[in-house]
Each structure stands twice: as structure tokens, then as C-alpha cells.
Structure 1
Amino acid sequence: MTSPVAGVPASFVIPDILSSWPFQRVDNPALALVQSSHRKWFQSLKTNAKYQKTFEGCNAPLLCSIAYPFAPASHVRIGADLLLLEFLIDDIADHLSPGEASRFAGVIRDVLKNPGTKRPDGEDTIGAIVQDFWLRASSEASHTFIWKLRKELIGYVDAICQEGVDRDSGQARDLDSYMQLRKTAIGVLPAISVCLHNIDIPRDVLLDPKILELETLAGRMAFLTNDMTSYNVEQARGDDLLNSVALLIRTEKMPVQDAFDAVADKFRIYTHEFLAIMRTLPLDSDPSLKAYVHCMGYWVTAAHEWAFEVGRYRLNSAARSGGRVFLLPKKIKDEA
């Protein structure tokens, strides 16, 4: 962080972390089509204002057009709808007590386990939204997709609820336990399952330690870039308990810029580990596995690129290319 000058806010630079990453950005040409159908689907759900605010702020089709650059429009659409669900779940769970979050998660688990059951009157709208998504996404999908997405979505919901418990109690995790939780709570593992929609990969292959480690590394890289791009708005509203940049500032007494640089260094270590493992896999002889592994890589790219093009984190293209980002003033949480 630069030394404060009278009247000038402190600032930081988001490090360049993708310069040696081979999965460079490619935009799926189906973006406009997906944006239109995605919006129509959301509007058909007749949600309330809090859901509408999340929808307008996340632009899930843009994120998914970068994450699935070579996928057909139908798959990008499934990904966009899934990402919106994750944003809704995350944003709503942030404001729930542990007991409320547990009941909220129970609704989602019940939908995933009993998708054909009519939802009870008076249930939170999220139940009907998840059910509508699941019935459409699982139609004509591979067995691998159904098994994997259900498993990862339940894991995601559980992790989000645990984050809520941490926030409510004020518990500050150490870096290791934080990273274990966040690799699931960032929501990348359900998202990369979309790549399996029309692919059947044997379960023992997906459970191979190397594939599981690649998933872990992709999840870690995704949440580290998210921590860097979201830090400013989170520190402004006092909601940075679960952010690795803020964690290093608190526990290691690092200046802001040093914390950003340390997180970027950790990201680069994971980049090296991911690529090293990837090179040991027989991807050229297994197109399905290659598609899945490359999907992980493009998701890391998407998580970073998207953050500079939506209003959610109050960034711009200059910040992506090394421009200074000025710290936002502290605000009451509901105002941020």
C-alpha cells in the first residue's frame, strides 16, 4: 500500500497472476443468446427484490462465456443458471443466523435429493428456483454430470453455511483451515461439473488422487483471485473475515500491498503445481478427461477476468492492467 498523503486515500495494485497461465481468455460467441434466455428464465421465477439485486450484479452469462469458451450455448446457459443459484445462495446466507442458514441449506439438499417432489407452501423461494434449475439441467444429462453436480452442490451449500457460522461467531480461521473451507465455498467445483453434462467419465477416474488434487488447486486459485478482486468492497463493509488478503493483514500484520503480493505468490505456486500434475495425465489419448481438466483451467481464468467487468467489486479495466485501486471508505454493512 502506498504511504498515505494528506487528502489522498491509500491504494493498492492487484498483481498480474495470469501471465504464465496457458488458459488465456477466449469469449464464447453465444454470450448474447445466453444472456437473453438467462434473463427470461430469471424473470419467470417472479422473485423478490433481494434476488433481483443479486441477479443484476453478477452477470453470470459473462462469467460462463469465459469459463466455457468452446461449449455449446445450452451448456453455457446451464452454467449461467447454476452460477446465479450460487450467487443467490451466497448472498442470502450472508444475512442468516446459523439456525436460519441450516434450515435454508436443508431446503436445497431436499430439492437435490427429491427433485420431483412438489415444494411445500410457504417455503423459501430458493427451493422452487433450485428445483426448476435441476429438472432442466439434469434432463438428458450424463450419469456422471448428475452424480457430480449433486455431490458438489451439496458440498457448496454446506461450506457456505459454515462460513455463516464463522461470521456469526466472529471466528477468524488460520490460513490453512481457511483455505480448506474456501476451496469448496467458492463454488468452482459445481461449476466445472457442467463440463460433464454430455460426458460420462468413470467414477474411479474422477476420484483419482491426481484429478481430485487438480480440482482442489483450481478451487484454491479461483478463491485467491476472488479474494484479491473482492477485498476492497469487503473491507469497506466490514465483511472481510473470510478473505485471505484481510487474514494476512490481521494475523501477519502485513501492509495491504504486501498481503496482495503474498496471495499472488501463493496463486503462482498453485499454478505451477496444477500444470505439473496436468502434464502427467494422458490427456491426448482421453478427449473427455482433457475437456474436463481444461474446464478447470478456463474457470480460473474466468474467475479473474469477470471480476473487472461487473459492478459487484467496483473495479475497472485499468485495475486489471496494474492501475491503482483506492481503498473505499468504511461503510455500514447495509450501505455497501
Structure 2
Amino acid sequence: MSLQFRLPDILSSWPWPRTVNPHTEQCGKRLMLQQKSQQYKFFPSKVQAGLCQAAIQLASLAYPKFSKAQLQVAMDLMFVFAVFDDSSDHMNAESVQIWANAIMDTLRSPLAPRDSKNELQMLILSSFWLNATQNMSSSAQKQFIEEFESYTRSVTEQAKDRDGLVVRGVESYLELRRNDLGAKPAFSLILMDKDIPEELFESDLMLLMKSHAIDMLTLANDMFSYNIEQSRGDSHNIVSIIMAQEDLNIHQALDHVSKMHDDLATEFLQLYETIDRSANPSSEVMKQYADGLGNWIRANECFSFESRRYFDKDGLTVKQTRLVELLPRVGVKEDLRDE
């Protein structure tokens, strides 16, 4: 008899609905044509096409109000993330560090000659960035580079953990994930066409909303990805960490993570209401940013079930029933530890 667990419905009352950008088809065709070109072929065709399709799908959900030009930037970035994440997962820390350095050099000097070892990957990055700079304000570009550097640094730290078989505690894990998730550079696109004073982005309200949104994405991702990750023995997941740290079974751990997510969601909505009531001249910009964060949280959930990232062809069924068949681990007899 197969073993099952139930995913909590963490966004049943979330006020941001599923929305798709109307420019998806046009921008998606451009990205698909670009990734099929000879210059971009460094993954097997099927794998690369899948990464490209995922980038199109996620960007269209995450940035539904973007113009055509802005959405193209967002799709290109999602493809950059897909390439880096897929490749770095199979690298040791030293290799990831070399690649991270090459990425930052490319962002700072996109037209400079590239190291032949990273030429294809950097070609994708420089193509993205040259287009992005035509559509981003100077403050958005500055923020993006800073956030992307934090992202690459954290991905390198994750690789070090993987090499050393390090298992972090809850707080240490969340601290790392606030950067290696890639949410911060993705969020820097929300106001990409506006020059925003640094002090506004560094205000307590904006920082807290961003932090809550990132933690919500982390918790959701880890609940959705738990089944795949446990099947291959990957403990870099908040559910696995809490099971080990608190001596809980999968059902109890999911309830624990769901409660953490609910508390963050409640606080996020309270902060959003604070902006709504504010007479601050910057409140409209802050509300646009907050709406972007809120929509990202919904988009992430939709993408997780609608793509094949975590549930293969069964995503929509799982979304409806919330039931997941526990995948076996090779050579390990699994149970749900129902005491």
C-alpha cells in the first residue's frame, strides 16, 4: 500500500488571484527561438526546452502587469535562474564560486571578453543584461546587481553545505534561503521602470514586507518540493530539518511549517493595510511594490502545481486533492512514522 501525505492549502484566503500577462505568447516565442539557436545549445535539447518553458510560465504569472518589453526582461531572467540553478546543483563549491565570479564580472561588464569555460552561460547572462539595462532605471539596475551578488554568494554557501553534508537549523537555513532562493533579484524587477530612492527601499516597512514574502516563498517551495527532495536524500529543506530537529513525522512537520507560513501571511497583510492607510507621498509606489510581492506569492503556488517541477503530470490533481504519494528512496524503506 502506498503512503500519502496531505499538503496544506496555505493560500486559500490569499487576496491576490492567479493572473497571466497578456504578452506571454509573443515574449515566449522570442525566448524559445533564442534558446534554440546554435549559440545557446549547452544542455540536451529536451532539458533546455523544459527550462525555457518553465521560465516563460513563471514570468507570465509573476509579472502579469508588465509591458511587453518588461516581460521579456523577466522571462530572460527566469531562464538565467533556471540555467544557473540546474547547473549549480551538480557542481562542487569551488566550481560554483568560479561561476559566481564570472556572473558578477559579466553583469558589471557585459561586453567584456568571456572565459571560454563559461562562454555559453555568460552569453545568456550578457544577452539578458544588455536588454535589461534598456528597460531598467539606474536605481533598479544598482539594486539588481547588489541582490544578484547576494544570490550567487548564497548559492555558493549552499554548495559548501552540500559538499560538507552540513544540516542547518531552522533559523540558519532560513537566513541562507533569503538570498539563495533568487527572490531578491526577481523582486528588484517589480519597480524596474522607476528610480526609487534607496532610503525608501531600506525603510523598515519595505524590508519587512520583502523578508516576509521571501520566507513565505521558501516555506511554500519546501513543502511542495519535499517529496522529490526526500526521495533523493536531500535534506536542504525546511520540512526535513523540522522533522529531524523536533522529532516530528511528516504530517506534524507540515502542520508546523504551515503555521509558520500562516503567521507570516497575517503579518504581511497587516503591513499592506498600513500602506493603504498611509498618507505618505511614496505610498502609491510602496503599494505597487507590495502588490508585486503579493502576486509573486500566488504565482509561485500556481507555477508549482501547473508546471511539472514537483508533481510531474499530477500537479492539478494534487492542487485539488492536496494528496501526495510518498516517493520511495532507493535502498531505504520509508514510513510516515505514525506513532
Q: Same fold (TM over 0.5)?
A: yes
Percent same amino acid among aligned pairs? Answer: 29
Residue in 1 that maps onto 2:337: none
Q: Which amino acid aligns with 1:251?
A: Q
Residue in 1 that maps onto 2:323: 324
Distance 1:180 1:124 in 2: 32
Matches within 5 A, 1:91-240: 91-239=86-234
Matches within 5 A, 1:16-55: 16-44=9-37, 45-49=39-43, 53=47, 55=49
Q: Which amino acid aligns with 2:304?
A: A
SS at match of 1:173: coil
SS at match of 1:100: helix
Residue in 2 that maps onto 1:5: none
SS at match of 2:118: coil
Distance 1:264 1:255 in 2: 14
Residue in 1 that maps onto 2:255: 261
Considering only aligned residues, what root-mean-square deviation do their CA atoms show, in Å?
1.9
TM-score (norm 2): 0.90
What's the CA shift for 1:74?
2.1
Structure 1 unpaired stretches of 5+: 1-7
Residue pair 1:61, 1:76 contacting (<8 A) in 2 also: no
1:32-89 Cα offsets, whole Å, 9 max, x none, are: 2222112122223422225861550461121121111222122222112111211221
What's the CA shift for 1:125?
2.3
Distance 2:62 2:95 in 1: 32
Residue in 2 that maps onto 1:4: none
SS at match of 1:325: strand
Q: Which amino acid aligns with 2:10?
A: I
Q: Which amino acid aligns with 1:291?
A: Q
Residue pair 2:5, 2:324 contacting (<8 A) in 1 also: yes
Residue in 1 that maps onto 2:2: 9
Distance 1:321 1:140 in 2: 39
SS at match of 2:58: helix
Q: Which amino acid aligns with 2:23?
A: A
Distance 1:11 1:323 in 2: 10
- Count how many residue pairs are aligned between Structure 1 and Structure 2: 324
| Residues 225 and 283 of structure 1, relative CA distance in 2, 3 Å threshold | farther
Structure 2 unpaired stretches of 5+: 332-339
Distance 1:143 1:283 in 2: 27
SS at match of 1:312: coil
Residue pair 1:98, 1:168 contacting (<8 A) in 2 also: yes
TM-score (norm 1): 0.91
Distance 2:185 2:46 in 1: 22
Distance 2:327 2:287 in 1: 42
Matched, 1:244 2:243: no
Residue pair 1:15, 1:322 contacting (<8 A) in 2 also: no
1:249-303 Cα offsets, whole Å, 9 max, x none, are: 2222211122111111111111111112222223885433221121111111111
Residue pair 2:140, 2:195 contacting (<8 A) in 1 also: yes
